[in-house]
């Protein structure tokens, strides 16, 4: 299966206490499987660290998801979304870095 995060893109800003959109494109034989979505600190691209689990059991063919942006997340310009497809040996997929204010 091939999965690509199409939103957020570089330059996106989410506001704490609001909501954010995550969108992806999935193709291949495992479309319709499930995945986990997490917010990560990508300050160091060689050591991306999870900050918050955003959703689990999301169908890969869903295409998008709206998440609550916690007011407790520290403001940063170095967040990324990480998607891990359940029961798939492929490595995690990351979005470009974006901001939370």
Residue 91's CATH number? 2.60.40.10
Average pLDDT per consecutive 10 residues, the chain (101 residues; last block may be shorter): 92 98 86 91 95 96 96 97 89 96 98
Phi and psi at residue 88, to the nearest 5°: -130, 135
Buried b (16+ CB within 10 A) or exposed e, 38-64: bbbbbeeeeebeebeebbeebebeeee
Distance set, CA 93 to CA 6, 81, 84, 87, 89 (Å): 11, 8, 7, 14, 12
pTM: 0.93
Q: Cα separation of 70 and 63, whole Å?
A: 22
Residue 91: domain span: 2-100
Q: How many domains, in total, are found in the chain? A: 1
pLDDT of the residue at 30:
58
Q: Cα separation of 43 and 32, whole Å?
A: 32
């Amino acid at each position: 299966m091939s999965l690509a995060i199409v939103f957020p893109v570089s330059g996106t800003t989410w506001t704490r206490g609001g909501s954010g959109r995550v969108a992806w494109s999935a193709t291949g034989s495992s479309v319709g499987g499930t995945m986990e979505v997490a917010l990560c600190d990508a300050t160091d691209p060689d050591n991306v660290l999870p900050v918050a689990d955003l959703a689990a059991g999301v169908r890969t063919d869903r295409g998008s998801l709206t998440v609550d942006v916690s007011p407790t997340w520290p403001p940063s310009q170095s967040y990324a979304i990480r998607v891990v497809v359940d029961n798939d040996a492929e490595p995690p997929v990351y979005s470009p870095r974006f901001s939370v204010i």
